[in-house]
Structure 1
Amino acid sequence: MQTFYFFQHPEQQYTCIQNQPNIHTEQQFIWIDCTREDVVNRVEAWQKEILELSQIHLNEYHIRDILNLEHPCAFDAMDEYDLLIFRKLITPDDQINVGSTFEQHESVFGLTSSPVSFVMTSQVLISIHEKGNHAFESYLNRIMAMLTKSLDEQNKPRKLPSTPLDLSLRLLNSMVDGYLDLRKPLTRRVEFWQQELLQGNRRFSKWHQLFQEMMVFQQIENLCEEQIDALQEVRDEIVENYSHLKGKKKADKQDLILVRVDDLVSHVERIQKYTTRLSSAIQAAIDLHFSAIANQTNENMRILAIITAVFAPLTLLTGVYGMNFEFIPGLKNQSGFWIVLSAMLICTIALLVYFYRRHLVGRGERSVIDMLAQQHKNQHVNLLWFLDYEPIKQTMKEVEKITKLK
């Protein structure tokens, strides 16, 4: 547990920070930063320490909520303090031990989140988070670097927060900004599933893993909804009771704080919309997968139908001449076999030509263009189709000229 004291500079109008109380200047607020290890298994001792430092007596039910690893995002306003529980998605930058010995995080479809609690008054901010939280540790490292500087140099790199609400919003903003780093790995996962679904060399069988991926996107969307609802409640509290949060002597403008809250909500909405787009991309790939399967099935059925149509007349001829009658025309004829065989061959060639003319056989460039342009309007059978060929047309014209000369 670490304690930081924010106070106003003795001569300038900006905020400074120390790790010990400064009795010579006006103190603005205290930040008490705790990890879950400081609270778990020593709740009573931790309560006494908080009471000595901040004079805040935490509600018993709120302590249970703080200790609950699976508590959803929530905001509760009381007369003495306000409690905000914000669930943070554990990103690759975090070093949080999700399988610690004293507590166990629940991983839902590969998604793990960690609660971060803020107890706010106009003079005190108490934060409880997991050890290894990248956003908190980055901000703490910056605070530690400022403590080594003089009071005149502390405000040069960036202005320090002047209220507990301002500090909590900055910490939340750093946590939410870390979500943007998830866009690249999520996009790569979507591209992987698109390639797996749209490949045609083997059958797709990873439906269970794909279902888990879809549920991960759904869990992220649900988490963003919870975060947005909690932040909206914080915004309502700022609008209705801002004096309770900023204190009597603070001159911070309410509009500036509302802009920061709205900006934080917009960041969460960006993550939610991006996740929704990725989920839609996977669903579109699934639809294309089934459309490709249906198209392949239709192609196979088309080929089978053509084979059946070609062999149906042949089966009829062989069935007729295979009947056990004593007298069949041409049965005693020496060339009857060759006549029937020629008839079967002519019938097969005629059917293939007919199917080709109807664009049922072959998928050449001309056939596709004709189908798209709907140029094959004549659906009747043309027995003299060979007369449409250009060499035959030229020959017919020459014959007509010779006939006229005669």
Structure 2
Amino acid sequence: MRPDARSDGESVHPRRWRICALLFCATTINYFDRQLLGVLKPVLDHDIGWSEQDFGNVVFGFQAAYAIGLTSAGWLLDRVGARIGYAVSTLAWSVAIMAHALVSTAGGFMGARFALGLSEAGNYPAAVKTVAEYFPQRQRAFATGLFNAGSNLGAMIAPIFVVIVLARLSWRWAFVIAGVPGLIWLILWLRETGSGKRDSGSAAVAGRGAASRLLLFNRRALAYAVAKFLTDPVWWFYLFWLPDFLHKQHGLQINQFGPPLLTVYILADLGSIVGGWASSKLIDVGWSPNRSRKTTMLVCACLAAPAAIVPRVEGLWPAVLLISLAVAAHQAWSANALTMVSDMFPSRQAASVAGFGGTVGAVGGMIMALVVGRILQETGSFEIVFWGASVAYLAAFIAVQWLAPKFEISGLAKNVDN
């Protein structure tokens, strides 16, 4: 029997939580690798000599590749299964992050980031598909919140790691060493998901995938995609530009990033876990998945709004706490947005839908990278950017409610217009 066909009251086998722990570790490594460039930016500004627009173009290269990779990763995962697809993706991004050590120009970094974005794109479609296969609906948001918390841990580790490495070695070694954890994870993943260890073989079942035409004309798929398009760029902004904001707005040097970034990402971790737990708990007390997810998402949208005043706040720590609230709200939102996929689509199509939505979100991130780079180049102010970040979630919530009034399972092969 397939895991997603089992009753909602079924107890969860402990091995599923071991799988969830591996998803958490993979997401941690994924975000640790991509965050390194943002943390190293003050050093690279000096060594490479690039402009704000150059850096925006480098970020754009990552986002473009991420958009391409998400769609192809979702399609591939629904055919070969999460076990093999996740392994290939992790191996590729581990090699790609090491390749950053070999470049010395903005163009070279753009190429390295393109390779990293293309390969890292497999993480979320694979993780969402795995959760859909291993967890009953009432626990999926909590499981998603747990693995999604790895994104914050990876971002927390990055500045500490950079300070330690730069105290003894050059920035190039930071990229070389960063590739090692992914290779270790790969061995553990293949061992845990090996032959004879899957629930009735379901974790390796390759679905037919979802045709692009069906995705484009399915309102539920579009609801997820629009939510990603409007809110993913906010997360990318915080991820790539927060160290630069702290440096330029509050005068922090690279060896001073630790406490503020640690605070931001610890609270973001808490937001991810609490956001997933909250909607799962509401289901446990009798609320429908639709009502529980959307109520939680609306609260998150309201909590993200005060970010608008961050550039005008006097003092480092008031600004850090407001950013922390916004990032925690984003992660709580994200835990529920990711779970929308398994709420509305069967697991055999989960990776394709997740990849489609992620692609649209990455396109939003591409636009954000160019726009933010241009705004900072011409105005030197973060004010417009924070205003945009503050209203994105309310706009996304309205779009989700319009496109998907109810979260109900509906495969892509039928009811296309629903």
Q: TM class, shorter-chain normalised? A: under 0.3
TM-score by length of 2: 0.24
The structure with more radius of gyration: 1
Between structures 1 and 2, the one with greater strand share: 1
Q: TM-score, normalised by structure 1?
A: 0.24
Task: Name whichever structure is richer in helix by fraction.
Answer: 2
